[in-house]
């Protein structure tokens, strides 16, 4: 056997395979991190390796006026392109699942480093993760701090990237494909036969939410950071993302319903904000396989996200309240009545939530 010839063929095959994968993943661009003109009709959910892929996208040349920052709630629902269409200001969504205050702070600073022209930060403040910001938080910044070779190797040669490219091609070539995401990673088509499981999973995840919340939330670090940004000429627009009524019911059963009021009062002392965190016509949507406003208890869809953007930019619509220290108590009383009304109409679900809280799944 001619081992020398065999090794050459093997090496050549490996090189061809690598080059094919690199070319495939670059041209298909499933995570939308490369600025070229090739576009497909359908994209997979852009949440895999997000801390890496969004960092690559952020560090590429480009001019942005507005930065979205927050957790998965605004990540899944706020469409930067829609914001740009309404305002004429180019936005970039750097919201990331599970990002706490310190990680969000880190991302904002990095964004301003690469794009000093950003003058507006749209900050989604989650009640659950912001109620009491810890003094210290151990962050795993390895995804952000990889060298260029490591970043692009992962983006162009990884299993996730290749799988996402294949899914993108298949979905784009399949006319009857009913589930898809737009080029910004926003889910645009909905149907879930296991929607009850999705809700139960989130209810179980948050079943202890608010139990240990004191009546004096500490937002001093957020306040200090906003002052720092303001001193640099950066405006911060704060909003509280919505959740489904089932999340409010968990908090009420845990004795933490009034902690929402306490939190909003402290947040309003920093500055007025846009409040979407209350029982609304969207959050009381009946749980069913074809929900349009929520796809589980904690995350709304782009339809609600567009309403949020319209309220913030155009002050359009009845959804969303401009919260200030002088209207928090009045609004909270109104929200309490709305939740009580929802409870009366959904007694079996209220009982089910109580069972999950006590027994789990």
Split at pLDDT 50, 70, 90, the class of 141 is: confident
Q: Which residues pair with 116 in a beta bridge?
A: none
Q: Which helix (H) or strand (E) holds 123?
A: strand 120-124
CB 28 within 8 A of CB 160: no
Question: pLDDT for 268-326, tens place per residue?
Answer: 999 999 999 999 999 999 999 999 999 999 999 999 999 999 999 999 999 999 999 99
Residue 170, domain member (yes or no): no
Domain with 190 in it: what CATH number? 3.40.50.1110
Give how far Cα 214 sits from Cα of 125, 186, 211, 218, 326, Å. 18, 36, 9, 10, 22
Residue 68, domain member (yes or no): yes
Residue 150, domain member (yes or no): no
Q: Is 166 exposed, middle or buried (0-12, 13-18, 19+ CB in 10 A)?
A: middle
Domain that holds residue 84: 50-144+180-359
Residue 205, domain member (yes or no): yes
Residue identified by tokens 């209810």 is 203
Mean pLDDT of all residues in the chain?
89
CA distance 307 to 184: 17
pLDDT value for 44 = 58
Residue 252, domain member (yes or no): yes
Two structure tokens written together for 57: 């996208």
CA distance 53 to 144: 9
Q: Is the pLDDT of residue 46 over 60?
A: no
Residue 8, domain member (yes or no): no
What percent of the chain is modeled with pLDDT above 90?
66
Two structure tokens written together for 355: 């069972």
Residue 206, domain member (yes or no): yes
Quick one: angle between helices 245-253 and 195-205, nearest 10? 30
Question: pLDDT for 188-221, tens place per residue?
Answer: 767 889 999 999 999 999 999 999 999 999 999 9
Q: How many domains does the chain have?
A: 1
């Amino acid at each position: 056997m001619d081992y020398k010839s065999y090794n050459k063929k093997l090496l050549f095959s490996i090189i061809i395979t690598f080059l094919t994968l690199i070319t495939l993943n670059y041209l298909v661009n499933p995570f939308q991190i490369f600025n070229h003109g090739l576009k497909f009709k359908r994209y997979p959910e852009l949440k895999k390796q997000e801390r890496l892929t969004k960092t690559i996208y952020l560090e590429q040349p480009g001019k942005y006026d507005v930065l979205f920052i927050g957790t998965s709630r605004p990540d899944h629902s706020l469409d930067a392109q829609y914001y740009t269409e309404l305002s004429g200001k180019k936005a970039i969504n750097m919201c990331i699942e599970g990002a706490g205050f310190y990680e969000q702070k880190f991302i904002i600073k990095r964004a301003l480093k690469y794009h000093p022209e950003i003058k507006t930060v749209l900050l989604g403040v989650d009640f659950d993760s912001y109620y009491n910001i810890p003094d210290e938080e151990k962050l795993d910044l390895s995804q952000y701090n990889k060298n260029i070779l490591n970043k692009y190797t992962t983006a162009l040669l990884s299993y996730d990237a290749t799988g996402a490219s294949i899914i993108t091609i298949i979905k784009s070539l399949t006319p009857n494909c009913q589930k898809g995401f737009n080029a910004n990673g926003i889910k645009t088509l909905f149907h879930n036969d296991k929607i009850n499981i999705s809700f139960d999973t989130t209810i179980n995840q948050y079943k202890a939410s608010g139990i240990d919340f004191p009546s004096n939330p500490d937002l001093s670090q957020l306040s200090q950071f906003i002052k720092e940004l303001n001193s640099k000429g950066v405006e911060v627009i704060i909003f509280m993302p919505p959740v489904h009524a089932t999340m409010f019911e968990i908090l009420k059963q845990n004795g933490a319903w009034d902690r929402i009021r306490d939190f909003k009062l402290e947040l309003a002392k920093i500055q007025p904000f846009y409040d979407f965190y209350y029982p609304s016509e969207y959050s009381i949507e009946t749980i069913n396989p074809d929900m349009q406003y929520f796809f589980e208890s904690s995350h709304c869809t782009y339809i609600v996200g567009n309403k949020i953007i319209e309220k913030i930019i155009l002050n359009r619509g009845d959804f969303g309240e401009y919260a200030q220290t002088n209207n928090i108590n009045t609004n909270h009383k109104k929200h309490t009545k709305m939740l009580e009304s929802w409870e009366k109409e959904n007694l079996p679900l209220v009982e089910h939530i109580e069972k999950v809280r006590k027994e789990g799944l």
